[in-house]
Amino acid sequence: MFDRLFFVLGETFTALRRNLGLAFAATGTVAASLYLLGGLFLAYSGISRYADGLSGRFEMRVFLKDGITVPQIKWTAEKIRSFEGVRQVNWIPRDKAWEKYSKENPEIARGLENPFPDSFKVILSDLKKGDEVSERIAKLPATDPDGGVQYLRDEQNLIAQAKDALKVLGGMVGGLLATIAAVLIFNAIRLTVLSRRIEIRIMKLVGASYATVYTPFLLEGAIQGALGGLVAAGLLALTHRTIGEALKSFSALSQLPSLPYNDLTLALSGAGAFYGVVCSAAALYRLQLRYR
């Protein structure tokens, strides 16, 4: 069994060595496409996480009319909670708000009457629903008609657009690079088959099993893909570290989330290997490398 395994592995590495240039090109392109796809995916999930974290900061402030009673406040709070896209509604009584402000800004507050109305802090679960929620709150009877709803509409829209753009960019550029990688692996395998036609012929003459004949080609594709995935994971880690270092100098900006390096390496090299096997199988199928 080990003899067969060593033979197949030996054949695989011989094949890789023979077409070293093309193998490098294929591996490089797989690495580039996985780097881009992986990078975009990480950026997307990073922004999503950031946006989720920001939704607390991108809270809405809803100011109520003067003279609103507690039952009206409760009814309004319940109504807002029932809107789709709303995660949390907190009532901020005008006294509490003034007390807090007076503590934070005692010199300004001194001698003044409480100017704050009763208000709600509304936290969204879905940034895209911001406009809709805002419009519905504004229509409620207790809401102050004159600027009763305040929130960072533009910032929220910007984040939503950034996420959409990343999706499109990932799909287009990543897809293009993945196609180029497929063509390169496909051609690498075809060239390998051609350069190893005597070996293949000998194997068929002496009745080598299908696994012995075909596995080296599939392994070759898998190795090219897996190496591409490893390189991509390394590059992503490097990029992550570089950006992280750069961000340290801007204390105003939040730090990058940590990179799950082990999971990323496994995922990318696994995806690359699978992709390589698929491309190799396609090349073998195209060559109609039948046992004839």
Closest by CA to 232, choosing from 52, 61, 28, 41, is: 28
Residue of the chain from 69, 125, 209, 254 that contacts another protein (CB under 8 A):
209
Number of residues that bind another protein (CB under 8 A): 19
The interface with another protein within residues 181-200 (CB under 8 A) comprises 198-199
Stretch that binds another protein, among 27-35, 50-58, 165-173, 284-292 (CB under 8 A): 284-292
SS3 of 143, please? strand
13 binds another protein (CB under 8 A): no
- Considering only 104, 154, 207, 288, the residue that binds another protein (CB under 8 A) is 207
The tokens describing 19, both together, are: 């077409």
Burial of 212 (0-12, 13-18, 19+ CB in 10 A): middle
Contacts of 243 (CB under 8 A, 6+ apart): 256
Measure the CA–CA gap between 188 and 260, rounded to whole angstroms.
32
Among 21, 23, 34, 45, which residue's Cα sits nearest to residue 235?
Answer: 34
Q: CA quadruple 17, 204, 182, 5: dihedral positive or negative?
A: negative
Strand order in the sheet with 60-63: 86-92, 119-124, 60-63, 149-150
Closer to another protein by CB, 2 or 250: give it.
2
Token couple for 214: 């075909």
CB of 7 to another protein, least distance (A): 5
Position among 72, 212, 239, 265 found at the interface with another protein (CB under 8 A): 212
Q: Quick check: 291 binds another protein (CB under 8 A)?
A: yes
> Judged by CB under 8 A, which of 30, 92, 133, 203 binds another protein?
203
Cβ-based nearer residue to another protein, 7 or 50: 7
Q: Does 255 bind another protein (CB under 8 A)?
A: no
Piece in contact with another protein (CB under 8 A), picked from 26-34, 50-58, 107-115, 205-213: 205-213
Residues that bind another protein (CB under 8 A): 3-4, 7, 198-199, 201-210, 212, 290-292
